[in-house]
């Protein structure tokens, strides 16, 4: 008897499952009751999702969420974490074709039939293929989508330039202005020197 890769019949519900996993807190154990009451996934078609999550490495054998489960809930990591878990879970497929996630439905079907030595009319392979294709949509195998890029902080030169340009425009318009300084209570001459130097460079410079 062929050993099929992990799949579920209700593969169309996978996007909903993973979306709800991101929203809810991590449970001590991932049970059917948790899916029904906390995730709002009450249909019987979701029951097969627990074995799939185990196969993907999101739950251990005791249904306890793993670190990958927790990392998946982070939007900056989710698509990359899922891609990693898919490649490990379907390792034979990715050994046969490193870019399996690019294959069409027909190509994936043909690949599994060849790998497993099954007849072309095998009834389970369509579910295996459909499950994988739904998972592929939720993952990133290229690493191009960097959602955790930090915003670049402006450097000192970027801050100074607008100040200088504003001062120049005011002088061109013949506009004068009064500056009121609230000096700090200090006897350190260096502090005052720094303040007046900054005024001269950024506002009073000709």
For 150-173, the pLDDT digits (tens) are 444 444 444 445 545 555 655 666
Mean pLDDT of 172-192: 62
More confident residue, 73 or 144: 73
End-to-end CA distance of the chain: 87
Q: Mind listing the pLDDT tens digit for each residue in 119-130?
A: 999 999 999 999
Distance (Å, rounded) from C-alpha 93 to C-alpha 39? Answer: 31
Distance (Å, rounded) from C-alpha 141 to C-alpha 139? Answer: 6
Q: What is the pLDDT of residue 149?
A: 40
Q: Mind listing the pLDDT tens digit for each residue in 132-142?
A: 999 999 999 98
Residue 157 is inside which H or E element, if any? helix 156-172
Q: What is the pLDDT of residue 144?
A: 67
Residue 148 scores a pLDDT above 60: no
Q: What is the pLDDT of residue 162?
A: 54
More confident residue, 190 or 30: 30
Question: Measured on CA atoms in the order 98, 101, 107, 111, is the torsion positive or negative?
Answer: positive
Q: What is the pLDDT of residue 45?
A: 84
Q: Mind listing the pLDDT tens digit for each residue in 69-86?
A: 999 999 999 999 999 999
Q: What is the pLDDT of residue 143?
A: 77
Q: What is the pLDDT of residue 157?
A: 47
Q: What is the pLDDT of residue 172?
A: 63
Q: How confident is the model at residue 202 (pLDDT cuts 50, 70, 90)?
A: low
Mean pLDDT of 35-51: 92
- pTM of the predicted protein model: 0.69
More confident residue, 156 or 3: 3
Contact 21, 72 (CB under 8 A): yes
pLDDT cut 90: percent of the chain above it:
65
Contact 85, 57 (CB under 8 A): yes
| Cα angle value 12/17/18 (rounded, 5°) | 110
Domain segments of the chain: what residues?
A: 11-137, 156-204
Mean pLDDT of the chain: 84
Most confident of 35-49, 72-86, 182-196: 72-86
């Amino acid at each position: 008897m062929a050993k099929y890769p992990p799949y579920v019949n209700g593969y169309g519900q996978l996007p909903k499952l993973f979306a709800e996993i991101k929203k809810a807190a991590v449970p001590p154990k991932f049970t059917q009751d948790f899916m029904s009451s906390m995730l709002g996934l009450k249909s019987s078609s979701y029951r097969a999702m627990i074995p799939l999550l185990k196969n993907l490495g999101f739950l251990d054998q005791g249904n306890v969420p793993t670190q990958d489960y927790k990392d998946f809930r982070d939007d900056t990591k989710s698509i990359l974490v899922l891609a990693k878990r898919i490649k490990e879970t379907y390792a034979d497929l990715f050994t046969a074709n490193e870019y399996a996630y690019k294959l069409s439905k027909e190509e994936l079907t043909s690949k599994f039939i060849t790998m497993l030595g099954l007849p072309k009319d095998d009834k389970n392979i369509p579910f295996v293929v459909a499950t994988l294709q739904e998972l592929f949509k939720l993952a990133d195998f290229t690493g191009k989508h960097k959602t955790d890029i930090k915003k670049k902080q402006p450097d000192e030169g970027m801050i100074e330039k607008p100040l200088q340009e504003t001062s120049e425009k005011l002088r061109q318009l013949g506009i004068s202005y009064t500056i009121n300084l609230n000096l700090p209570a200090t006897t350190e001459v260096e502090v005052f020197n720094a303040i007046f130097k900054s005024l001269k460079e950024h506002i009073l410079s000709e």
